[in-house]
Structure 1
Amino acid sequence: MDRNSGSNLNVQKIDRSPSTSSIGSHGTVDSGRSTASTNLSSVSSRRRKGVLGRIETGFRSVFRRFSRPRTSLTEMEAQLLSATTNYTREEVLQWHKQFLIDNPNGYMTRKQFISMYKSLFPRSDAERFARHIFRAFDLDNSHTIDFREFLLGLSITSTTNSIKTKLEWTFNVFDIDGNGLLTRRECLEVIDAIVRYYLSSESGTHNSNNDSIVNLAKRSMMTIFDNVSQNPADKLTRSQFVEGCLKEQFISQLLAPTSNTVLINTQSTFDNHSTDSKHVL
């Protein structure tokens, strides 16, 4: 999930050359909607864990002071986003401008988020995939994504971040009920959606090996549960999930690719594991 693939925003328009636009220290540029401090303070405890939790905690303390509508982005906010993400100040402003073109209200609803993915990948099961990804972008659990959340998610999923950071973020994709623990059922559902989405978006058709690759991914995910502290577990914490994924090369490569190519060498990985294939579920 590279930062250039997660949106219908015109990425080609985002230029790394110095921006000619400027704003004063008290000036504003267009951004998303107003959110009261009570909304920011209602972030669930699971969002405070790990790297994302530390990011959110820092932003809550700053953004709660701003009562202005989020159709305006201050210089301070732009600088904070630049410091927290992999983007320069100029890129933050350009992303923000394009975000408002596609989302004039300053935020994206779940329906809009799903529609975006469906338009990008009409031949894949994008709706099912997007429902799970939306959960990770929606840091404050408001059922919408504002510009700040959008840019943080885009940055974290970029190839410049470490595999561990990406996996900590991906935990939220798998945590369907939001209780901070992953069950086997949750992991089987989400890994199935992710693999089928990637395979169909790459080929556009159903390949005879698709089901086998999906089952391989499910087996690898269940191995993480089985190997927790040398004792099979039915639930995973964030740290256990990250540690387990790092040990499972196929899952790590799938969830946190280190290049712009998704499912790198998936077919060869499948071939290497096909001799001990089992049926999952």
Structure 2
Amino acid sequence: MGAKESLTGDGPAPEMHHYYSKFMRECPSGQLSLHEFKKLLDLQGLDPQGDMYIKRVFDIFDLNQDGFIDFLEFIAAINLVIRGKIDQKLKWYFKLYDADGNGCIDKKELLNIFTAIQAINGYTSTSPEEFTDMVFQKVDVNNDGQLSLEEFITGVEKDEGLMELITKTFDLSNVLKVIQSGRRHSI
């Protein structure tokens, strides 16, 4: 981001102050823990699959892997959600799916993360098994049972239906709205 560029294009100082104020109101220590993250999003008491997904999202936003999301990491996450180009978002999705961090997504990883997402958002038009099989059928061009980053991005960008499904299923704008407003449920 340039010195005169803001996250939404409305001017840097007021926008940054707005986000900083909200972040510090919700997290006076300046560091958001996983527990606070779940509380902020009103996602406590999830089943193990849902907890796994929320922890994965948290871990990816925790860029320095210190167990907390600080303000700069928070801004980076917001910037990705608001202004990220599709290839940036696809790289983020890939990182989310690659649970073991080995640079490839296998069927079990994709199945687990999709199951976890369903546990949270109730998306049910496609079963986790159907989704996983469809992604691998369309994207795994060398049929090795794993998706590399390049295979994933190229395959998803070429298939409009798959792009739409992935974008809707893993949309983070609701998370952003919760963070921007301060709490999931207003009183």
Global fold match (TM > 0.5): yes
State the Cα deviation string for residues 97-145 of structure 1 (Å, max 9, x = none): 110111111111122222333x169889753331221122111222211
- SS of residue paired to 1:217: helix
The partner residue of 1:178 within 89, 101, 110 is 101
Q: Aligned pair in 2 of structure 1 residues 183, 213: CA closer, same or farther (>3 Å)?
A: closer
Q: Aligned pair in 2 of structure 1 residues 131, 248: CA closer, same or farther (>3 Å)?
A: farther
Question: Does 1 or 2 have the higher relative contact order (CA < 8 Å, sep 6+)?
Answer: 2
Higher helix share goes to which structure? 2
CA RMSD of aligned residues (A): 3.2
Q: Aligned pair in 2 of structure 1 residues 196, 254: CA closer, same or farther (>3 Å)?
A: farther
2:111 corresponds to: 188
The partner residue of 1:255 within 149, 166, 169 is 166
Q: TM-score, normalising length from structure 1?
A: 0.51
Q: What are the ranges of 5 or more consecutive residues in structure 1 without an aligned counterpart? A: 1-54, 56-78, 201-209, 263-281
Report the identity percentage: 21
Find the aligned partners of 1:248 and 1:121 in 2 and give their Cα distance.
Answer: 35
Q: TM-score, normalising length from structure 2?
A: 0.72
2:134 corresponds to: 220
The partner residue of 2:155 within 244, 253, 256 is 244
- Report if aligned partners of 2:80, 2:88 keep a CA contact under 8 Å in 1: yes
- Report if aligned partners of 2:111, 2:129 keep a CA contact under 8 Å in 1: no
- Report if aligned partners of 1:114, 1:126 keep a CA contact under 8 Å in 2: no
1:99 corresponds to: 23
1:7 corresponds to: none
- SS of residue paired to 1:256: helix
Q: Aligned pair in 2 of structure 1 residues 101, 180: CA closer, same or farther (>3 Å)?
A: same
Q: Aligned pair in 2 of structure 1 residues 135, 249: CA closer, same or farther (>3 Å)?
A: farther
Find the aligned partners of 2:128 and 2:17 in 1 and give their Cα distance.
Answer: 40
Q: Aligned pair in 2 of structure 1 residues 193, 123: CA closer, same or farther (>3 Å)?
A: closer
Question: How many residues align structurally?
Answer: 169
- SS of residue paired to 1:139: coil
Q: Displacement, 1:163?
A: 2.3
Find the aligned partners of 1:131 and 1:173 in 2 and give their Cα distance.
Answer: 10
- Report if aligned partners of 1:107, 1:147 keep a CA contact under 8 Å in 2: yes
2:52 corresponds to: 128
Give the letter aligned to residue 181 of structure 1.
C
- Report if aligned partners of 1:137, 1:150 keep a CA contact under 8 Å in 2: yes
Q: Aligned pair in 2 of structure 1 residues 172, 106: CA closer, same or farther (>3 Å)?
A: same
- SS of residue paired to 1:157: helix
Give the letter aligned to residue 170 of structure 1.
Y
Report which of the two structures shows the higher radius of gyration computed on alpha carbons: 1
- Report if aligned partners of 1:109, 1:143 keep a CA contact under 8 Å in 2: yes
